[in-house]
Amino acid sequence: MPFVTLAPAGFAFAQDAVSRPADTPAERSTAITKQAVTDPASRALYAKAGWRAVWSAGNIEAFDRVLADRARHGLDRIAFLADPAESDDVTRTKAALDYAGALAQGRVDPASLHEVYTLPRPKVDLAAGLARALAKGDLVAWFDGLAPQDAEYKALSDAYLAFSAKATVAAPVQAIPSGVIRVGNRDARVPTIVEQLMESGYLPAVTDPLAVAADPLAADPLAPAPPALVPLAATQPPMLYTQAMADALKGLQTDYGIAADGVVGPETLKVLNLGAGDRARALAVGLERRRWLTRTPPATRIDVNTAAAQLRYYRDGAVVDQRKVIVGEPGRETPALSSPIYRLVANPTWTVPKSIQNGEMANVGEDYLAEHNMVMRDGWIVQQPGPSNALGLVKFDMANDQAIYLHDTSAPGLFDRSQRHLSHGCVRVEDALGFAQMLAEDEGVTEAWQTAQASGEMTFVPLPRRIPVRLLYHNVYVDDGGRVAFRTDPYGWNDPIAEQLGFAKAAAKRAEAQAIDIGP
């Protein structure tokens, strides 16, 4: 005979004891001890459930399947539920909320890592959502909907699974020893470098890369390999590093934000020595960073990827412009923040921050100030408007308390560098005047902007609506061709995240750089 157990609203626990015993809560008649529930989210859920057990056998099985799939999110190194077979109702609820939080908002709190982090975070009532999913029996669908749903997240997820699988079966990467190699040098490390460039797609693959590198007369791996070539023997002399190899290496250096000089130096070797496990590690961090972000960014916005030193301008949800930027050097990092542009400033002056005035400029004299069109005003050094101004001819004023903004530069040649972590924290924009013209046209202030620009004086042009700017740090992302692209970790911000995701502590693989001029 069917029987009914009363349960609080929101939990459909009444079942037929004979026909559907697997769908009843395992301990439905057992009250949950309030003292056993310590976290606020679990307490909210059990309070709504009348302090009764909430897990049915069907939901337990569904949650086990959900956790078994967590590698899709780069969370497979975290044991959210240590021993499912031995877990009680409260332990399972806590694990479900922990995993839901990792998917919905990230496992790591970025505010614990960064002194400045103002990017909007997702807001989700996890306790209420879990309660509904348990009542409806649709845990799998609920968990699936918590992580980002965009194409980039899926691409990074797929890449993480692929590199993780490769790292599991591949032999450990034998590190290429240190030492500089230039075109014309002979070096025993050249065959290994050629293999790495082929594997990464920077050189076309051939049947025997060692044989190609072994030919001292035709060591160009871009040319067809003669059939008579034989594999490299241990007794043969070091191999020639050719211009063709250097040109291929420049592609790798450019992609990773290293000075693209074709020279095999310390930073390049760090990249060449990366294995599948290293790339999986970076991808897991990339997935985590995206879980920190709100799922509905403004349709019209500017995203600056400080790790890759790139800017993308979105208009009504579509990318309408992208260009290079120069961002903060290591030690003067451009912070992760959200801040809107509210006005354009034509012919700006630059008030030198006290940190620079008392640092790099501590001993400058009157001649230096005059040469750089600078004057003293109330104890502050101010650079007058003009083409030599450190801000260039336009500043994009942003509303934040960090004195961070976008601007032009008097040194446009720096955009030709692949390594562009060179500023004191602000963001220099390639062809900033062209970008300002684009924004002015889109916002309907073209005439006011052109008049201000032609005046030669510092002039403010308010925008009728603010344009949101997000300063992000993504050293793994999907490029314009749909390929998952990797960059170095110039600020060293990945390691503490990776460690909290269960990865071993790694040696820093940072691209070192220094600001090469006095400017923001």
421 is catalytic: no
Cβ pair 190, 209 in contact under 8 A: no
CA 286, distance to chain mean position in Å, is: 5
Beta bridge partners of 56: 25
Total Cβ atoms within 10 A of residue 410: 17
Catalytic residue among 73, 372, 426, 474: 426
CA angle, 454 then 409 then 462, to 5°: 50
Catalytic residue among 407, 421, 424, 474: 407
407 is catalytic: yes
Q: Which residues of 433-468 are buried (b: 16+ CB within 10 A; e: fewer)?
A: eebbbbbbebbebeebbeebbeeeebbebebeebbb
CA distance 520 to 426: 5
CA-wise closest residue to 415 among 330, 487, 325, 490: 325
Cβ pair 306, 513 in contact under 8 A: no
Q: Is the dihedral of CA 490, 491, 492, 493 positive or negative?
A: negative
Element (H, E) at 476: strand 476-478
CA distance 291 to 105: 5
* Sequential DSSP letters for 35-94: GG--SHHHHHHHHHTTSB---BHHHHHHHHHHHHTGGGGT-TTS-SSS-GGG--HHHHHH
Total Cβ atoms within 10 A of residue 165: 13
CA-wise closest residue to 148 among 286, 349, 335, 11: 286
Q: Is the dihedral of CA 35, 37, 38, 41 positive or negative?
A: negative
Q: Letter for the amino acid at 274? A: L
Cβ pair 174, 183 in contact under 8 A: no
Active site residues: 407, 426
